A and B are shown apart, each in its own frame.
Chain A
């Protein structure tokens, strides 16, 4: 049998999806009533009055809900999902606004009607009177705090947090060289092609609720719905159907609609469905990325960082349902593969009257990497050193693993790198992109009147955070293997990679393995899909569960074959005695024997009936055993496992139009052992494309009143094929994680993490202008050219860095 782990096999998901047989949220519930939301047109306002009378005669209207219709826990603010001691002023919204709205798009009323057209007709006729308040938009306004988002949150300050090791300020003060940098990143968003959506059915007879949601956590939604609707958890089922992309935004829960729709379904005893439209997704889901950073660094003649101090300001939007995870990730993952002599980081997490901020693929890392890599480029420039040389002297070395920074990561656990070989990765990257031959290429290009630049950026990504995931593996009497895990899928190919793991562990053909994810009926204990954790967490749990099943299968088979379990092997779904051809039993038959029967239901099951099998002197099921050939297990890591990688890009900038063209993109990626290289590379491709979007095109264009002016795909510029690199060169380094049974590390987010940094570096290298703020458009680059005194200065591999002020002692 071919080993499946590590093989780039085709995905088992694809056929159904290609035939149009996908079942996404809005493909379900054709009999359901439709919900539409009335949303705030103001960024900040008091609600004076809601007049629904104009909507009442709309033909097909079923119900209208406002805050006044919410009772019990439904009337309380939504949960603060991840409390943190530093989040002293956490605030969450109500499912429907009570007396104040804090961003354009906040839900104010919900209409339920015959179909969405009618629901929107009625929603339009609901008259809400607002008393507008001054809007706080952007980090500068939040910091100035001339106006407050929440009157009881002074300074608009939700959280302030500091972490440090060593004495960074003294180390910087005593360093031979010092630099100060100001570095900014703007807002972007996950923007999956499928928006959010939820469908609920209330079964009046049994008092049970079934909910389908386009979510990254079915168990999270289930717990929240049960708590808010005051239902026993057992009476709530949440099923995640096919999900058309998540990228982080769908980990947030419960969205107001995830509570309101089940509430209405129960009240009306009819199925109700909400499908978010595209404009709603822009103004009523979540964004990320916006941060301002002030960096002070002290270093020696070789570019070794002796002290690093980073002060930054994070815009978390109107509410903090997801706590301060994003800035915590920035403040810890900023360090990348480097080991500054001393480090201090402090952030303020600030309220603004804009859409909430929660993790978007990368989750604070793109900002951290931007800060660290811009700083290293600046150091290289100021010392006249090659940018890779400055990285090399700062790397954590392979023999220093595990490397403990003495800081606390986003999972509340110590920041300890478990594996990685950063010097080896850099060597691979230099070869892959042609780092050492670039200066010759630059000269050739220059002779042709072309302007080119090269940049690189590295990252380390904590993946596979806890608390846990579980797996259940069941072998049916047909020999078919049914696998379930609780976390959800949004296109990562989980059904394929988990089946690969099980096929190897059990010795069965992969075509016999079927995997179900995100269905609380099949596996009720789970956390969710985020932080590049699915393969690490559920992959490990499923492997452990499969090993349990294998052990039992061998035990039962050994008895039937009168052999020692140690002499058995499983090949192609058949248990065989090694070296004894013919002494074998199919796993399906082992499954029959594992479940002692009184009643036969077919030929095969006769073998398990009471007169056919078992020692009459013993109980049919031993005291420490249970019937059936199945196993369940959990994987709970001591802390995250740290994947890493490095990207390099060569860009060309048009001397006249400032258009930025990607000439070459190279990735070296270390996610430990690869389960399916084809899928891993697909994840990298997609991440790189999102990174290109974030670096060169995508931004949330809020005006000073808090109106999002580009809330459509016409104006929010996601890359088409015409904007992504023609080919992405990928090389893998596999340093297995010692933390889990499969040696794997997460791969889902990696592709997007270094993009802002790597493009800034390459554009700066091409132009000779400091690039300190991303994204950057051609018009912004054009503008920078006219305002930068150093424009036209010949660039070199030392890079220019983004320094604003340089001192030497």
Chain B
């Protein structure tokens, strides 16, 4: 049995040691907001926060994060109220198909905690490890800056 704390809620799951964290979140806990785009840590769609730091959940085994705090996209909003990062994406048309979006949202959430007032260069740097095939990133950069503005 493995104890996972996801979005503040404790879960106990019985998974084989080889179960990826991404699969465990999606298929054992039903938290399907975390998406899997490449299964080898390149695209960033599966990014979740582990004790506040962004990690690729497709590169982690569920059993290896026993007891650690995991935040997924489902844990970003305050009830019905979008987080500043989510609001930034809505305001700036930062998503199209939405598949890569959860990974961007978690990555930027952590990024803005570290650097609440990024320059445009820093905003680009913040998202430089995530792939998006729809938006050409223009409006995602704008969304980062908008989120910073909303948070201040």
Q: Which residues of A approach B to under 8 Å, CB–CB? A: 10-11, 13-15, 17-24, 26-27, 30, 115, 117, 191-194, 242-245, 247, 277-278, 490-493, 678-679, 682, 684-690, 712-714, 718, 720-722, 724, 726-728, 751
The reply to whether A718 and B131 form a contact with Cβ atoms under 8 Å apart is: yes
Min C-beta distance of A784 to chain B, whole Å: 28
The reply to whether A30 and B86 form a contact with Cβ atoms under 8 Å apart is: no
Contacts of A678 in B (CB 8 A): 93
Contacts of B16 in A (CB 8 A): 117
The reply to whether A22 and B134 form a contact with Cβ atoms under 8 Å apart is: no
The reply to whether A244 and B90 form a contact with Cβ atoms under 8 Å apart is: no
Q: Which of B1-51 contact A (CB under 8 A)?
A: 16, 18-19, 26-27, 30-40, 42-43, 45
> Among the listed A19, A277, A721, which residue makes an inter-chain contact with B137, where contact means beta carbons less than 8 Å apart?
A721
The reply to whether A728 and B138 form a contact with Cβ atoms under 8 Å apart is: yes
**Cα distance A764–B102 when bound, in Å?**
40
**Cα distance A721–B44 when bound, in Å?**
13
> Among the listed B40, B74, B95, which residue makes an inter-chain contact with A712, where contact means beta carbons less than 8 Å apart?
B40
A193 and B132 contact, Cβ closer than 8 Å, known pairs A19-B74, A493-B96: yes
**Cα distance A245–B136 when bound, in Å?**
13
The reply to whether B18 and A117 form a contact with Cβ atoms under 8 Å apart is: yes
Interface-located stretch among B60-68, B110-118, B122-130: B122-130
The reply to whether B136 and A728 form a contact with Cβ atoms under 8 Å apart is: yes
Can you report 30 A-B residue pairs in the complex whose CB atoms are below 8 A from each other? A11-B90, A14-B95, A14-B98, A15-B90, A17-B98, A18-B82, A18-B105, A20-B33, A193-B43, A193-B45, A194-B35, A194-B99, A242-B97, A244-B35, A244-B97, A244-B98, A245-B97, A245-B133, A277-B39, A682-B139, A686-B133, A689-B136, A690-B133, A713-B37, A713-B38, A720-B128, A721-B141, A726-B124, A728-B136, A728-B138
- Tell me the dominant secondary structure on chain B's binding face: loop
Min C-beta distance of B15 to chain A, whole Å: 10
Min C-beta distance of B38 to chain A, whole Å: 4
Mask, B45-83, CB within 8 Å of A = 1, is 100000000000000000000000000111011000010
Contacts of A490 in B (CB 8 A): 97
- Interface presence of B91 (CB below 8 A): yes
**Cα distance A726–B19 when bound, in Å?**
40
The reply to whether B97 and A192 form a contact with Cβ atoms under 8 Å apart is: yes
A685 and B30 contact, Cβ closer than 8 Å, known pairs A10-B93, A18-B105, A714-B42: no
The reply to whether A22 and B98 form a contact with Cβ atoms under 8 Å apart is: yes
A721 and B31 contact, Cβ closer than 8 Å, known pairs A15-B90, A682-B96: no
Contacts of A22 in B (CB 8 A): 32-33, 98-99
Contacts of A20 in B (CB 8 A): 31-34, 72-74, 76, 102
Contacts of A247 in B (CB 8 A): 133
Residue from A242, A492, A682, A712 having most chain B Cβ neighbours under 10 A: A682
The reply to whether A242 and B98 form a contact with Cβ atoms under 8 Å apart is: yes
**Cα distance A10–B43 when bound, in Å?**
26
Contacts of A721 in B (CB 8 A): 124, 127-128, 137, 140-141
Which residue of chain A has its CB nearest to the CB of B131? A718
**Cα distance A720–B40 when bound, in Å?**
16
Contacts of A14 in B (CB 8 A): 89-90, 95, 98
